Amino acid sequence: MPLNLDWSPEEKAFQAEVRQFIADHLTDDIRRAGQLRTSVYTDHEASMEWQKILHARGWAAPAWPKEYGGTGWSVAQKYIFSREMSAAGAPALSPMGISMVAHAIIAFGTPEQKAHFLPRILTGEDFWCQGYSEPGAGSDLASLQMSAVRDGDDYILNGSKIWTTHATEANWIFCLVRTDNSGKKQQGITFLLIPMDLAGIDVRPIVMSSGERVQNQVFFDDVRAPAENILGEENKGWTVAKYLLEFERGGAAYAPDLQGRLDVIERQAAAKTNDDGVPLLDDPDFSARLADARIRTDVLEVLEWKIMARLTAGQSVGSSASMMKILGTELSQAVSALAMDLSGPLSMPYQPHAGRPGAPVEFFTPPADGHVTGSPNDAIAPLLYFNDRAGSIYAGSNEIQRNILAKAELGL
């Protein structure tokens, strides 16, 4: 069946409604936070403020079922919403709660867990971080060793998690823990929801190459966590984790954000010249690379539309989540490299104060007068570039995703 790429009159009317909402509610400060982000995470305070505004309209969780606070939108409406938000420079909401653990709670949680956690995730009262990777278990996640030993109504937790985004801001962490070592490594894993204020939890920030301390290592030393916070069944957390990873890897549309970033690059390229005085937009090498990124983004968008059509028909995304993760993250890296080349020598000074980082910046004191060499986009180009290097590693490295595709689609 041919793919219809035209929005219906109803969808166009919805697009106009979203644009009007953005015009009425997206403040200049919140917009700047979205436009000047230095990683996939936007300024925490601005992101939470935008979540409150969206929640008041009932639009904070478009992908949730309506009975739990979702919008009831069609897949096309969700895509339009995402595209309009990206085009307007609106900050992204933290994915850990709304876009990740909430779906696992909806699918595997008890009625009591759903009633307690989901409203608090919507309001932002509960802010989540993810406890998956360990120093010895990254892409080979099933090798995790953080132990959870049952003691009455509690588990006693020992071990650590690493690369834990926003652990200093979060008041809850969803963790994969080892409750049994007797079987295969995928067995004996339990999915546990843990309050971050329990005695014995120690959060130690990791300073990234961009200077931000958005990542952390979290240590658990004889932490006593309630067993009632198991999600799903004991020793069957791997099933929950695989379900959640579909949302982490392929649950978002990459193309709208990439198109917005390329629009900014194109506008900058029209105003800058190369060493020969030729506008960069007319420079054969630069314009060819820009065109290549545009074409690849357009192809990615068509693929996202095809997946959207499958979802509308009630079909599973399946291994397409791995494909989209590979294409989206590697294209994002190409776009951030293009922005670096556009900024040229102006990208060399370290100027994090020009942007709106997703976490505090260490070892840097901004100039008293706030001076920035070049434009803010020049200044944040290297920060985005360095942060983007992690895109092909987190949520399962792209090498792992290619192995998944080789097995699922090629039978290798």
Catalytic residues: 248
112: tokens are 């009591």
- Assigned token pair, 130: 């993810």
| Other CB atoms within 10 Å distance of the CB of residue 248 | 21
Q: Which residues pair with 155 in a beta bridge?
A: 150, 225
Closest alpha carbon to 10 in 74, 64, 102: 74
CB 6 within 8 A of CB 71: no
Dihedral angle sign, alpha carbons of residues 70, 74, 76, 77: negative
Q: How far apart are CA 17 and CA 58, in angstroms?
A: 14
Residues 181 and 175: their CA atoms lie apart, in Å, by 17
Q: Rounded CA gap, 381 and 393, in Å? A: 20
Parallel, antiparallel, or unpaired for β 172-178 and 128-131?
parallel
> Token digits for 356?
């709106």
Listing DSSP states for 200-242 in one string gives TEEEEEE--TTSB--EEEEEEEEEEEEGGGB-S-TTBHHHHHH
Task: Specify the 3-state DSSP secondary structure of 193.
Answer: strand
Q: Dihedral of the CA atoms 261, 382, 129, 360 (nearest 10)?
A: -120
Rounded to whole angstroms, the Cα distance separating 91 from 109 reads 29
CB 255 within 8 A of CB 300: yes
**H or E segment at 134?**
none
Instruction: Compute CA 115 distance to the chain's CA centroid, rounded to the nearest angstrom.
Output: 25
Going by the DSSP 8-state scheme, the letter that residue 197 receives in this structure is T
Distance CA 346, CA 358 (A): 22
Q: How far apart are CA 166 and CA 412, in angstroms?
A: 38
